[in-house]
């Protein structure tokens, strides 16, 4: 989704802004722009398309400034176009960038238009900049004007503002959309994600909801939503600049697939030494809260939702705890009955997904005993607003299609299942058995990823296809769903997943020689049933691609392509079997020449509804 970068320094900040925008490209966007202020005034440059195009345009007009704001836009109000791209201006002295949505923009716009303001875009953002202009006309300074204007705005927003007559001030606001301040030496910055600023600093202040900041080269003044001065602590980024680089890999997604053994290792390290240790990773309040849990409600979006679906099988099977899983965008808008003793669990890579956050904020029922966030970003809203937190340690995930975040979420969820199960009397011997299996995960994932070459070869079969079916049974059904999601996200091939037992209730009608059918077949209790389902496909001429346990005896034959997976213990199989499906969609997408890391129309972090 939209990205913000801003900087104030004693040197030209153009490069900092463009580099920052490039580092935010992964979030998904359709246009980009920058406003730079120097002694002569503000130069604004905007372009539809990629940041590289904007960079060329900035060089062409020699735009430079010691203070500036920049933006990548993911269209919500108004089509992707140069006129709708940020920064937006009111007159020639005031420039503003905005993430989020202003819900009451239409009434504000009507009022401003009746007062003579002319709008040059279809965006909701433009009302903010004109409102600011209006207040500034009354003689208030920029920071004061921003504080007045935000009171009129409904919705979610993060803002960056500069003004010609106060060239030593960069104003930032956070309300419902993330924004961090980066601290440099005699220069400071803002960004919607700290990753944008890692080339220039590793020290950050995370603004709280409602905070407004006035930033100069040597200081930061912050007021909270009530206008009271506050001090927010600075934090050092835990990681290296290179964590967010592509390195030797062709795409971030490829790098992130191969990082999974290390990501899982880091997520589990020092956390699964013994059954009694497990609960520590969920926070100090976990023992008291887990004790009261009778049922679990999981809410998430996209890939994180699929992780929740896997957890449901584990929770009911291993811990005997009932579990409901729902996509956040549905859950938040329907009336639901909350059973007594419900643990509310959100799962999110970014911790900023608008629907997931909204669902969390709507958990007032006293029947909730606690809120647990399983999340990859320590500084995120979801983490800050949940009393229990399990941090996945996947490191920055840049590819829009989630990979290592998913498998580390699964590792965390399995720990949660064991920790909850233990509170409910699950024997330590049983838990120890699963922990021993979990310790094999990095190695098993590495073995699964070593099938890369044969999978690349197999992917040639999919390049010309328009549709694909994914089948799985039991806990592998969500894995099949995730496989289908990956394929459609990055290769744009229409893909559906079914619980294999449902095949004959509809999707079998679609099967012919043009429909590749992908199946995951670990050596579990449902294997024989799955084999029958595969026969049903074969009998209709469907071409089968089976990722099978080497001991499962699924035979290669005409129309049946088998890739042998390592022998994997049943409980952890969903984590390991995800890997070949990620690789399959990756290679199909590369062959089809799509934008693997930034697939069309999608965003990494969906911060609007
Ligand atoms: C977007 C991303 C998906 C992700 C989903 C949920 O749709 O493209 O990859 O699974 O959001 O994101 P979250 O950060 O909450 O896990």
pLDDT tens readout for residues 397-453: 989 999 999 999 999 999 999 999 999 999 999 999 999 999 999 999 999 999 999
Give the position of tokens 């989630």.
Answer: 402
Protein residue closest via CA to atom 5 of ligand 1: 302
Active site residue 280: no
Mention the CATH class of domain 449-602. Answer: alpha beta
Fold of 3-236: 3.60.20
The percentage of residues in the chain with a pLDDT greater than 90, rounded to a whole number, is 79
Q: Rounded to whole angstroms, how far apart are CA atoms 555 and 29?
A: 45
Query: At what angle are helices 404-423 and 260-268 packed, to 10 degrees?
Result: 30
Q: Give me the phi and psi of 526, to 5 degrees please.
A: -95, 5
203-232 average pLDDT score: 95
192-197 average pLDDT score: 91
pLDDT at 125 over 70: yes
**pLDDT tens track for 477-531:** 999 999 999 999 999 999 999 998 888 898 888 888 888 999 988 877 777 877 7
> CA angle, corner 543, sides to 541 and 547, nearest 5?
140
What dihedral angle (degrees, nearest 10) is formed by the CA atoms of 474, 476, 482, 486?
A: -140
Per-residue pLDDT band for 241 (boundaries 50, 70, 90) equals: low
Work out which ligand 1 atom sits closest to the CA atom of 303: 10
What dihedral angle (degrees, nearest 10) is formed by the CA atoms of 606, 493, 21, 145?
A: -30
Work out which ligand 1 atom sits closest to the CA atom of 603: 8
Contact yes or no for 249/255 (Cβ under 8 A)? yes
**pLDDT tens track for 311-343:** 999 999 999 999 999 999 999 889 889 999 999
Active site residue 604: yes
The percentage of residues in the chain with a pLDDT greater than 70, rounded to a whole number, is 99
DSSP bridge partners of 172:
160, 213
Q: In this predicted structure, what is the pLDDT of residue 314?
A: 98
Q: In this predicted structure, what is the pLDDT of residue 181?
A: 97
Higher pLDDT, 30 or 93: 93
531-551 average pLDDT score: 85
Fold of 249-426: Rossmann fold (3.40.50)
Q: In this predicted structure, what is the pLDDT of residue 602?
A: 87
Work out which ligand 1 atom sits closest to the CA atom of 489: 8
Q: In this predicted structure, what is the pLDDT of residue 242?
A: 64
369-383 average pLDDT score: 93
Strands 212-216 and 219-223: antiparallel
Mutation choice for ligand 1 from 178, 257, 301, CB with most ligand atoms inside 8 A: 301
CATH 3.40.50.10490 in the chain is located at: 249-426, 449-602
Task: Show the ligand 1 pocket: residues with CB < 6 angstroms.
Answer: 301-304, 348-350, 353, 356, 400-402, 602, 604-606
**pLDDT tens track for 30-63:** 899 999 999 999 999 999 999 999 999 999 999 9
Q: End-to-end alpha-carbon separation of the chain, Å?
A: 11
Per-residue pLDDT band for 6 (boundaries 50, 70, 90) equals: very high
Q: Is the dihedral of CA 270, 275, 276, 280 positive or negative?
A: positive
Mutation choice for ligand 1 from 402, 410, 582, 609, CB with most ligand atoms inside 8 A: 402
Per-residue pLDDT band for 10 (boundaries 50, 70, 90) equals: very high
The H-assigned helical ranges of 315-427 are 328-331, 354-361, 381-384, 404-423
CATH 3.60.20.10 in the chain is located at: 3-236
Mutation choice for ligand 1 from 347, 353, 599, CB with most ligand atoms inside 8 A: 353
Protein residue closest via CA to atom 2 of ligand 1: 604
**pLDDT tens track for 276-312:** 999 999 999 999 999 999 999 999 999 999 999 999 9
Work out which ligand 1 atom sits closest to the CA atom of 356: 15
Strands 295-300 and 234-236: unpaired
**pLDDT tens track for 479-492:** 999 999 999 999 99
User: Which one is catalytic: 22, 109, 169, 604?
Assistant: 604
Contact yes or no for 80/31 (Cβ under 8 A)? yes
Report the chain's mean pLDDT, rounded to a whole number.
93
Per-residue pLDDT band for 240 (boundaries 50, 70, 90) equals: low
193-198 average pLDDT score: 91
What is the pTM assigned to this prediction? 0.78
Q: In this predicted structure, what is the pLDDT of residue 565?
A: 93
164 alpha carbon to ligand 1 midpoint, in Å?
Answer: 38
């Amino acid at each position: 989704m939209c990205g913000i970068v801003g900087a104030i320094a004693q040197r030209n900040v153009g490069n900092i802004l463009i580099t920052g925008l490039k580092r935010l490209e992964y979030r998904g966007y359709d246009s980009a722009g920058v406003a730079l202020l120097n002694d002569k005034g503000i130069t604004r440059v905007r372009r539809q398309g990629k940041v590289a195009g904007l960079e060329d345009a900035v060089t062409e007009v020699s735009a430079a400034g010691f203070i500036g704001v920049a933006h990548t836009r993911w269209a919500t109000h108004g089509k992707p176009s140069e006129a709708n791209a940020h920064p937006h201006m009111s007159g020639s002295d005031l420039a503003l960038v905005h993430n989020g949505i202003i819900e009451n923009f239409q009434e504000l716009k009507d009022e401003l238009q009746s007062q003579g303001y002319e709008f040059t875009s279809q965006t909701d953002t433009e009302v903010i900049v004109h409102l600011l202009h209006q207040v500034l006309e009354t003689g208030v300074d920029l920071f004061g004007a921003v504080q007045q204007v935000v009171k009129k705005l409904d919705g979610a927003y993060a803002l960056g503002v500069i003004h010609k007559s106060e060239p030593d001030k960069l104003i930032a606001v956070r309300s419902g959309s993330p924004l961090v301040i980066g601290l440099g030496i005699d220069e400071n910055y803002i960004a919607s994600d700290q990753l944008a600023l890692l080339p220039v600093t590793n020290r950050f202040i995370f603004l709280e909801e409602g905070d407004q900041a006035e930033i100069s080269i040597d200081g930061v003044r912050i007021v909270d939503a009530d206008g009271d001065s506050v001090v927010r602590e600075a934090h050092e980024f835990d990681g290296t600049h290179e964590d967010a680089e592509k390195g030797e890999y062709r795409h971030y997604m490829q790098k992130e697939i191969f990082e999974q053994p290390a990501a899982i290792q880091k997520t589990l390290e020092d956390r699964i030494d013994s059954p009694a240790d497990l609960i520590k990773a969920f926070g100090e309040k976990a023992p008291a809260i887990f004790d009261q849990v009778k049922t679990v409600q999981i809410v998430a979006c996209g890939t994180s939702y699929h992780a929740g679906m896997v957890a449901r099988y584990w929770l009911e099977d291993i811990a005997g705890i009932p579990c409901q899983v729902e996509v956040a965008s549905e859950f938040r808008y329907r009336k639901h009955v909350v059973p007594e003793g419900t643990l509310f669990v959100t799962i999110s890579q970014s911790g900023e997904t608008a629907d997931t956050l909204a669902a969390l904020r709507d958990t007032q029922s006293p029947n909730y005993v606690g809120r647990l966030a399983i999340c990859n970003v320590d500084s995120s809203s979801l983490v800050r607003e949940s009393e229990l937190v399990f941090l996945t340690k996947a490191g920055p995930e840049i590819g829009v299609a989630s990979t290592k975040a998913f498998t580390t979420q699964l590792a965390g969820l399995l720990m949660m299942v064991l920790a909850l199960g233990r509170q409910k009397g699950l024997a330590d011997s049983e838990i120890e058995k699963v922990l021993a299996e979990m310790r094999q995960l990095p190695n098993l994932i590495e073995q699964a990823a070593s099938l890369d070459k044969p999978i690349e070869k197999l992917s040639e079969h999919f390049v010309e296809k328009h549709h694909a079916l994914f089948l799985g049974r039991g806990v592998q059904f969500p894995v099949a769903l995730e496989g289908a999601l990956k394929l459609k996200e990055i290769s744009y091939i229409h893909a559906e997943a079914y619980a294999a037992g449902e095949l004959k209730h509809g999707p079998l009608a679609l099967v012919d020689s043009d429909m590749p059918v992908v199946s995951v077949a670990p050596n579990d209790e449902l294997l024989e049933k799955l084999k029958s389902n595969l026969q049903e496909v074969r009998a209709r001429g469907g071409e089968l691609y089976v990722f099978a346990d080497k001991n499962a005896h699924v035979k290669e034959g005409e129309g049946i392509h088998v890739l042998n997976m390592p022998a994997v213990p049943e409980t952890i199989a969903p984590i390991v079997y995800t890997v070949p499906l990620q690789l399959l969609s990756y290679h199909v997408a590369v062959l089809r020449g799509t934008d693997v890391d930034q697939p069309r129309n999608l965003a990494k972090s969906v911060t609007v509804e």
